[in-house]
């Protein structure tokens, strides 16, 4: 029997003490803890790592506080385009979707791509057709409407600007920061990771970030680790960040913590990127690494280590 571990994130960015009113901060912490408890209870009951990461991410997708699922940002056209991926470490099978507009839980659609097709990545209308064929839950556009997200879009919609949720905000608004994800190790020693996002505010031309790209924003391999990323997507793609962590462990013999530190604080920074990641290895060790001021994050294992944090100093 292996130790069980679950880690989750809700995005990394300019998260500073005092930038949120206490009531809002409490809502974020409670949302993270709910997601953590849902996934961990599955693991504790003998569930798979794959089940746990899907369940935790679904919970975050259903929460309007985070830029994924229901809380997704607006595109330049005033619509929503969501991306997600999931991967299991035992077989290295993976599924991903991008540019879906009405699917309630994109992470579950990504899992169906992995389990019900011979493909890895479906996008746009084809992904929507597959979702309808599989009976996936859909929601109308108003389900995804959020007043804060809408105001965020209105402020820049007449410009060429796109906005990452983890970018600096000069006001003390109730900011919502980026991508969500989870990584887990189950009793059988299997790893899994999942990542989901609503992308960038005011994005154009069908832009896709790192979240649905296997090896960039998400990766799992029983030989090494499971990783979910959040941050400046273009840089995570260029740096193949999630796979880079695994490579440092497999080919250089680095520990999980050291590999994550090198990738986030050296390799990513060297190419101009910012953000963070969560990861779990085959022994149940976990890492929560970021080079921004903060990252919504939580972790729990059967050694009794539990943490829910937002800022650099928990």
Q: Residue 161: is its pLDDT beyond 70?
A: no
Q: pTM higher than 0.85, yes or no? A: yes
pLDDT (mean) for 292-310: 94
| Percentage of residues in the chain having pLDDT higher than 70 | 89
DSSP-assigned states of every residue in 257-282:
HHHHHHIIIIIHHHTT--EEEEEEET
Neighbours of 141 (CB within 10 A): 11
Give me the pLDDT at residue 156, please. 56
83: which 2 tokens? 């991306």
pLDDT (mean) for 89-103: 97
- CB-count exposure of residue 118 (10 Å: 0-12, 13-18, 19+): exposed
| Residue from 191, 242, 249, 254 nearest 217 by CA | 242
What pLDDT band is residue 103 in, cutting at 50, 70 and 90?
A: very high
* 8 Å CB contact between 296 and 32: yes
- Taking every pair of Cα atoms in the chain, the longest distance, rounded to a whole number of angstroms, is 56
**Higher per-residue confidence, 206 vs 280:** 280
HSE at residue 268, side-chain half, CA atoms within 13 A, is 33
Give me the pLDDT at residue 170, please. 33
Residues 243, 221: Cα–Cα separation, whole Å: 9
Sheet holding 94-100, edge to edge: 121-123, 94-100, 82-88, 191-197, 180-185, 5-13, 294-301, 306-311
* 8 Å CB contact between 313 and 307: no
What pLDDT band is residue 144 in, cutting at 50, 70 and 90?
A: confident
What pLDDT band is residue 166 in, cutting at 50, 70 and 90?
A: very low
What pLDDT band is residue 151 in, cutting at 50, 70 and 90?
A: low
20: which 2 tokens? 């949120």
Q: Residue 162: is its pLDDT beyond 60?
A: no
Instruction: Output the CA–CA distances (angstroms, integers) from residue 37 to 50, 91, 139, 299, in the order listed.
Output: 15, 26, 26, 10
* Residue given tokens 């001021």 in the structure block: 293
Computed on alpha carbons and rounded to an integer, the radius of gyration of the chain in Å comes to: 18
pLDDT (mean) for 30-35: 97
HSE at residue 262, side-chain half, CA atoms within 13 A, is 16
Rounded mean pLDDT of the chain? Answer: 90
What pLDDT band is residue 304 in, cutting at 50, 70 and 90?
A: confident
Residues 65, 175: Cα–Cα separation, whole Å: 9
25: which 2 tokens? 């901060």
Sorted by sequence, the CB contacts under 8 Å of residue 283 that are 6+ apart come out as 3
Q: Looking at the annotation, which residues are catalytic?
A: 179
Residues 62, 34: Cα–Cα separation, whole Å: 12
* 8 Å CB contact between 67 and 176: yes
**Higher per-residue confidence, 173 vs 159:** 159
* 8 Å CB contact between 178 and 278: no
What kind and span of H or E run contains 43?
helix 22-44
Neighbours of 247 (CB within 10 A): 18
């Amino acid at each position: 029997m292996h130790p069980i571990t679950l880690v989750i994130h809700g995005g990394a960015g300019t998260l500073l003490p005092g930038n949120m009113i206490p009531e809002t901060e409490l809502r974020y912490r409670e949302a993270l803890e709910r997601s953590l408890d849902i996934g961990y209870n599955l693991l504790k009951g003998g569930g798979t790592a794959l089940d746990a990461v899907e369940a935790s991410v679904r919970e975050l997708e259903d929460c309007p506080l985070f830029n994924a699922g229901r809380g997704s940002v607006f595109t330049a056209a005033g619509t929503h385009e969501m991306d997600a991926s999931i991967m299991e470490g035992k077989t290295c099978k993976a599924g991903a979707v991008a540019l879906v507009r009405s699917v309630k839980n994109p992470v579950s659609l990504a899992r169906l791509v992995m389990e019900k097709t011979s493909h890895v990545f479906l996008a746009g209308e084809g992904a929507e057709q597959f979702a309808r064929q599989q009976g996936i839950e859909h929601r109308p556009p108003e389900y995804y409407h959020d007043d804060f997200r809408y105001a965020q879009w209105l402020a820049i919609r007449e410009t060429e600007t796109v906005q990452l949720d983890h970018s600096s905000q000069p006001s003390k608004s109730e900011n919502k920061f980026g991508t969500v994800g989870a990584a887990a190790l189950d009793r059988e020693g299997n790893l899994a990771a999942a990542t989901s996002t609503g992308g960038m505010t005011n994005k154009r031309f069908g832009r896709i970030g790192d979240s649905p790209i296997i090896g960039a924003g998400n990766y799992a391999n029983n030989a090494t680790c499971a990783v979910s990323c959040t941050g400046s997507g273009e840089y995570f793609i260029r740096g193949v960040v999630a796979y880079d962590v695994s490579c440092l462990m497999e080919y250089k013999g680095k520990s999980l913590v050291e590999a994550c530190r090198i990738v986030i604080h050296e390799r990513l920074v060297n190419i101009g990127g910012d953000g963070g990641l969560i990861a779990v290895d085959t022994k149940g060790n976990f890492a929560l690494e970021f080079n921004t001021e903060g990252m919504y994050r939580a972790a729990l294992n059967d050694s009794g280590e539990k943490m829910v944090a937002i800022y650099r100093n928990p």
